[in-house]
């Protein structure tokens, strides 16, 4: 069992990962005139005092507050954050600590990178999704109008500190959501991680979770260091997300939101189905993948009548270029190919397959 944190570098950005990471990170916070911490109300309740307990020497010049949830990842919240930084007289030599889930690291990174033309920030993710995905890779931003991540900037954090101690207060649904991204890494690039998962329920994997987090983090780092700006390789991380994002929006619009992970899990079934009918596919058992997803995620409830709306939503996605839908497909278990053009008929068939094979 993993007991010590490990240090992984993404270019020159240290990523300290594992139990005890927080305590080992003390030096990352030194040398700043003022240190601020950004939290939402849940993080303030569940994580802030733990953070202060572990690092009692850090004196905050101010606690910056924003409202939790995707619906608040917007320009209004960004403006409220800039107001608070202005109020506390933050300067370019100040530091912002983004303590929270992916919403916090996205909006916190964006507001820090633009405040007075850029102040330093450090990400301390407190959700599993944040730890294995959102806090890593320098993408920051906010949603604008109805479009996700429409406005943003690539900006490097000074450090990323990933300590599983925060996960104890996270509810099961949020943990599962992060798990979907870990399963994605296993399928696209990490056979040993797939083997570690061993066709188990997520609950049964918990003793191995720290080890699995370290693998997932190094998987993401290895992709981002080769292609930070997503000109090619980084697109493999979109596996399951073309259909997944459309489903996420469908359910959000119906006022019955599902987690990002639940939507991506459904998207991975569809993308695996499309892969299995693609000539480049060399895997004899896509059924194992369906089974693993089903073991951990309930099937989303929608009907054949929703398919035209799902297809319409997909047209708004960044992965659609000149009307063509681009998918990351599996070439085999543990290996993926980005940017494959897939016909609308094939996508629709994969959705019908999802509904039929439950
Ligand atoms: N920048 C990227 O590369 C990237 C990648 C993936 C996802 N994202 C973004 O990440 C966001 C989703 O992230 P998320 O799933 O972490 O959502 P989130 O930040 O909304 O967190 C989920 C919920 O958990 C609460 N919470 C956070 N930590 C907690 C803890 N330790 N205990 C109890 N409650 C806690 C939050 O207040 C929130 O209510 C989306 O906006 C997505 O676009 C960004
Ligand atoms: Zn995702």
In this predicted model, what pLDDT tens digit does every residue of 223-254 receive, in sequence order?
999 999 999 999 999 999 999 999 999 998 89
H/E element, 332 = strand 324-332
- Is residue 128 one of the residues assigned to a domain? yes
What are 16-20's contacts with CB under 8 Å, separation 24+?
16/159, 16/160, 16/161, 16/162, 17/162, 17/213, 17/214, 17/217, 18/162, 18/163, 18/164, 18/210, 18/213, 18/214, 19/163, 19/164, 19/165, 19/210, 20/163
Instruction: Tell me the CA–centroid distance for residue 130 and ligand 1, in Å.
Output: 6
Does residue 1 belong to any structural domain of this protein?
no
Q: Which atom of ligand 1 is nearest to the CA of 171?
A: 33
Shared-domain flag, residues 312 and 265? yes
Per DSSP, 307 falls in state: H
Mutate to test the pocket of ligand 1, among 38, 174, 317 (most ligand atoms within 8 A of CB): 174
User: Domain with 42 in it: what CATH number?
Assistant: 3.40.50.1970
User: Rounded to the nearest whole angstrom, what is the distance from the C-alpha of residue 349 to the centroid of ligand 1?
Assistant: 32
Check residue 300 and report its DSSP letter: P
Mark whether 153 and 185 lie in a shared domain.
no
Q: Which residues of 225-263 are buried (b: 16+ CB within 10 A; e: fewer)?
A: eeebebeeebbbbbbbbbbbbbbbbbbbeeeebbbbbbb
Within this chain, do residues 96 and 184 fall inside the same structural domain, yes or no? no
pLDDT surpassing 70 at residue 1? no
Q: Is 272 in the pocket of ligand 1 (CB under 6 A)?
A: no
Residues 17 and 147 grouped into a single domain: yes
Per residue in 41-51, pLDDT (tens digit) is 999 999 999 99
Ligand in closest contact with the CA of 239? 2
Ligand 1 contact, 174 CB (< 6 A): yes
Give me the pLDDT at residue 2, please: 66
Domain-embedded: residue 119: yes
Which residue range(s) make up the domain with 74? 6-169
Which of 124, 142, 169 is where one domain is finished? 169
Residue 80 confidence (pLDDT): 98
pLDDT per residue over 260-298, tens digit each?
999 999 999 999 999 999 998 987 789 999 999 999 999
* Residue 56's pLDDT band (cuts 50, 70, 90): very high
What length does the chain have?
358
How many domains does the chain divide into? 2
Whichever domain contains 310, its CATH number is: 1.20.1090.10
For residues 174-201, average pLDDT? 96
């Amino acid at each position: 069992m993993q007991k010590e944190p490990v240090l992984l570098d993404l270019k020159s950005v240290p990523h300290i990962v594992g139990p005890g990471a927080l305590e080992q990170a003390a030096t990352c916070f030194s040398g700043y005139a003022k240190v601020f911490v950004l939290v939402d109300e849940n993080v303030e309740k569940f994580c802030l005092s733990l953070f202060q307990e572990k690092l009692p020497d850090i004196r905050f010049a101010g606690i910056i507050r924003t409202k939790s949830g995707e619906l608040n990842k917007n320009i209004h919240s960004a403006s409220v954050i800039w107001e608070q930084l202005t109020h506390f007289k933050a300067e370019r030599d100040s530091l912002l600590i983004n303590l929270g889930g992916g919403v916090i690291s996205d909006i916190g990174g964006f507001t820090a990178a633009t405040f007075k033309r850029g102040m330093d920030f450090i990400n301390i993710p407190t959700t599993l999704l944040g730890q294995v995905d959102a806090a890593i890779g320098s993408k920051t931003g906010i949603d604008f109008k109805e479009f996700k991540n429409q406005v943003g900037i690539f900006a490097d954090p000074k450090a990323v500190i990933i300590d599983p101690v925060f996960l104890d207060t996270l509810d099961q649904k949020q943990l599962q959501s992060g798990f979907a991204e870990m399963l994605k890494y296993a399928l696209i690039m990490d056979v040993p991680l797939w083997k570690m998962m061993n066709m188990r329920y997520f609950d049964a994997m918990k003793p191995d979770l720290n080890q699995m987090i370290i693998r997932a983090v190094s998987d993401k780092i290895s992709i981002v260091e080769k292609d930070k700006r997503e000109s090619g390789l980084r697109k493999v991380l979109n596996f399951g997300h073309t259909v997944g994002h459309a489903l996420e929006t469908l359910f959000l619009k119906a006022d019955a939101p599902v987690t990002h992970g639940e939507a991506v899990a459904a998207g991975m079934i569809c993308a695996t189905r499309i892969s299995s009918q693609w000539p480049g596919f060399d895997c004899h058992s896509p059924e194992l993948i369906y089974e693993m997803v089903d073991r951990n995620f309930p099937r989303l409830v929608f009907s054949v009548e929703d398919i035209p709306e799902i297809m319409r939503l997909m047209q708004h996605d960044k992965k659609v270029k000149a009307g063509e839908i681009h998918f990351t497909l599996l070439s085999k278990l543990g290996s993926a190919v980005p940017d494959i053009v897939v016909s609308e008929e094939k996508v629709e068939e994969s959705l019908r397959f999802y509904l039929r094979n439950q």
